[in-house]
Amino acid sequence: MKKINIVFLIDDDPIHQQIAKRMIERQQVTEKIVSFLEADLALNYIREQLYQPEFLPDLILLDINMPVMDGWDFLEAFESFRENIPKRILIYILTSSVNESDMVKAKTYASLDGYLVKPLTTETIEHLLK
């Protein structure tokens, strides 16, 4: 399994963030995990670091059901400038939603690499990094 530098967890639920963080740490697959309770803060960070790829995430785990800016809004904004990002960022939705319409909608985003249902498991992490 390959190792990645930075993982972003974007989820308004601090308990889920803790669980996901522990799962990722146990796998020892990353040097750094950065958590955001609000999607707009993560988006602003990415915009600010746009030309410093060493500070950008390699992987984003994104919840879709959040207040203020939800995961869909994040993806819309991200796609508007993703071609300017100097490195490939993998983005996976990580949500409790098993709603078929959410899964179909997810397929419409070019920047999205997949749709995962919570909770994050060891097997899921292994699959992401192959």
Q: Containing domain of residue 35, as a range?
A: 4-128
Mean pLDDT of the chain: 93
- What is the C-alpha to C-alpha distance for residues 31 and 126, in angstroms, rounded to an integer? 16
User: 121, 23 in Cβ contact below 8 A?
Assistant: yes
- What is the C-alpha to C-alpha distance for residues 61 and 52, in angstroms, rounded to an integer? 21
Query: Closest Cα partner for 75 from 118, 98, 107, 36?
Result: 107
Domain count, the chain: 1
DSSP string for residues in 32-63: EEEEESSHHHHHHHHHHTTT-GGGS-SEEEE-
Q: What is the pLDDT of residues 55-87, one digit of tens each?
A: 999 999 999 999 999 999 999 999 999 999 999
63: CATH: 3.40.50.2300
